[in-house]
Structure 1
Amino acid sequence: MAFTAVRPLRFGDCDPSGIAYFPSYLNLLVGVMEEFFASIGSPWPVMMGERRISVPTVRLDITFSHPGVHGDVLEFRVDVKRVGGSSLDFLHRITCGGTLLWSAEQRVVATDTDTHRARPWPDDMRAALEQHLETSNV
């Protein structure tokens, strides 16, 4: 079951020619990831503050397919591809009006916020993540 979110591409997200500045895409992606974790019952303030679990990105492979421009409405689709012992693989597809703008494969790892070492997913988070596993071809 994919998670989806919509974000506008604003003036400040673009270079002087009006084309999306790629670091802005990553900032938008972080916000979508924060919203995804909240949707599975693990809002980041609780996860990182109370539960002491962080989810740093350890791999990110991005393919840019089409330029985004100021005023575009970006549609983010987040698919969970794999839940490991402490890792989690996502496939992101970002479109505008049905046109693929960019896609990314991302791996995050659950880490202890204090020691910065990998830790297993807690049972409740693992169960919630596994409910989002994509089993069909995407």
Structure 2
Amino acid sequence: MTFSTARTLGFGDCDPAGIAFFPGYMRLLVGVTEEMFERFGAPWPAMIRERRIGVPTVKLDVDFTAPAFHGDRLDFTVAVAALGSRSVDLRHRVAVGDRVVWTARQVLVATSLETHRAVAWPDDIRAGLAAHLETNDARDPAA
């Protein structure tokens, strides 16, 4: 199961010509990822303040395939490609209608804010991430 949400591309996410620029995209990516965690019951403010767990990005690979423009509705789809004991590999797909404008692979690691070292995902957060886990069976019934 994937997580889906949408954002409207705002003025502050664009260059003077009204074309999206990558810093705006990265701000949106963080917001979408945070919304996904919140939706399955792990809001980042509570993770940080109460549980003392952060989720830094340790890898980010982005492919830009088409421009997006001020006012466009960006449809985000996020899937969990792999879930480790301390990390999660997310795949983002961003489209305007049927046109894909960019894709990204993002790896997050659960980290103790006390030691700054990787820690195991708490059971409830792991379960929320697992609900978005892609399987070969979901993509290819013959696999």
RMSD across aligned positions (CA): 1.1
1:55 matched to which residue of 2? 55
After the TM superposition, which residues 12-51 of structure 1 pair with which residues of structure 2 at under 5 Å, given as runs? 12-51=12-51
| Partner deviation per Cα, 1:1-55 (whole Å, 9 max, x = no partner) | 1001110011111101111011100001111011000011100111111011100
1:101 matched to which residue of 2? 101
After the TM superposition, which residues 56-135 of structure 1 pair with which residues of structure 2 at under 5 Å, given as runs? 56-135=56-135
TM-score by length of 2: 0.93
| 1:119 Cα offset (Å) | 0.2
2:139 matched to which residue of 1? 137
| 1:123 Cα offset (Å) | 1.3
Q: In the alignment, residue 23 of structure 1 is paired with which amino acid? A: P
| Partner deviation per Cα, 1:66-107 (whole Å, 9 max, x = no partner) | 001111000000001111010000000000011000000010
TM-score by length of 1: 0.97
- Separation in structure 2 between the aligned mates of residue 127 and residue 3 of structure 1, nearest angstrom: 14
SS of the residue 2:139 aligns to? coil
Q: Is 2:11 aligned against 1:11?
A: yes
- Separation in structure 2 between the aligned mates of residue 132 and residue 103 of structure 1, nearest angstrom: 17
Identity %: 54
| 1:137 Cα offset (Å) | 2.9
- Separation in structure 2 between the aligned mates of residue 16 and residue 52 of structure 1, nearest angstrom: 40
- Separation in structure 2 between the aligned mates of residue 19 and residue 56 of structure 1, nearest angstrom: 28
SS of the residue 1:102 aligns to? strand
Ranges of 4+ aligned residues in structure 1 off by more than 2 Å: none
